[in-house]
Amino acid sequence: MAHVFVTGSSDGLGKMAAQLMIAAGHRVVLHARNEKRAADARKAVPDAESVQIGDFASIAQTRALAEAVNRIGTFDAVIHNAAVGYQEPRKETEDGLPHVFQVNTVGPYILTALMNPPARLVYLSSGMHRGADGSLNDLTWKKRRWNGSNAYAESKLHDTMLAFAVARLWTDVRSNAVDPGWVATKMGGRGAPGDLAAAPKTQVWLATSDEPAARVTGQYFYHMAARPADPAASDHDTQDRLLAECERFSGVTFPASRG
């Protein structure tokens, strides 16, 4: 039986993953960005162990969330599912960062850096990460004209880079990225063509399975099969630059070596 923390689990794929794991006998802690969403999570997944609250759009709240989950203990796995979508206009958080960048990139970075490292980490990516700008120039979109789709695609490339950087630097942690497919969640939209029932299964498998194929690290998966990621995600210098930039924006230092 695994003990798993799932971010962004009040609805969508996070909720579905939590339900699958609880049905299989695992212990699951949920996450929501505010009290209203926490109530939704408790209603949707009543057998969850608890719901932890913290908005990734706030560095202070994300740090406090890490402290709260560390008081629970060390998890067997963490699924980094929380994200906002590609249709957002440009808006800044209380910390002065683009909302998409802070929630999708900086939030997972802070939790990764501050939480007790689990045995397994799973980061939700997207097929849109392929071909995204991996230069890491103008991460705050101060110089470029805003494009929500591109900002989202870049953030999913960042999540894949983060997964691969952790796999490289923390040799005792299995860290992987997952493309769940374009599916009909609130983020994906009603017309999304992907298999919604299959969408949460790969992250659950990577977080909980003892099958040899799931006990790997530094891989990118789609429907429980390894697939090539964008080459930029595997570049060590780019990974290190992303970690440095996230540290600069958040004030949180990444523990560079484990294992």
156 as an active site residue: the answer is yes
How far is Cα 219 from Cα 214, in angstroms, rounded to an integer?
10
222 as an active site residue: the answer is no
Closest CA to 146 of 90, 211, 219: 90
Amino acid at 57: A
**CA distance to 51, 73, 108, 194, 239, per residue, from 208 (Å):** 20, 17, 20, 23, 26
Locate tokens 């990516």: which residue?
125
How far is Cα 165 from Cα 238, in angstroms, rounded to an integer?
9
How far is Cα 163 from Cα 206, in angstroms, rounded to an integer?
13
Tell me the chain's radius of gyration from C-alpha atoms: 17
How far is Cα 160 from Cα 176, in angstroms, rounded to an integer?
8
Annotated catalytic residue, options 15, 152, 220, 222: 152
**What residues contact 133, with CB distance under 8 A and at least 6 apart?**
150, 154, 157
Active site residues: 152, 156
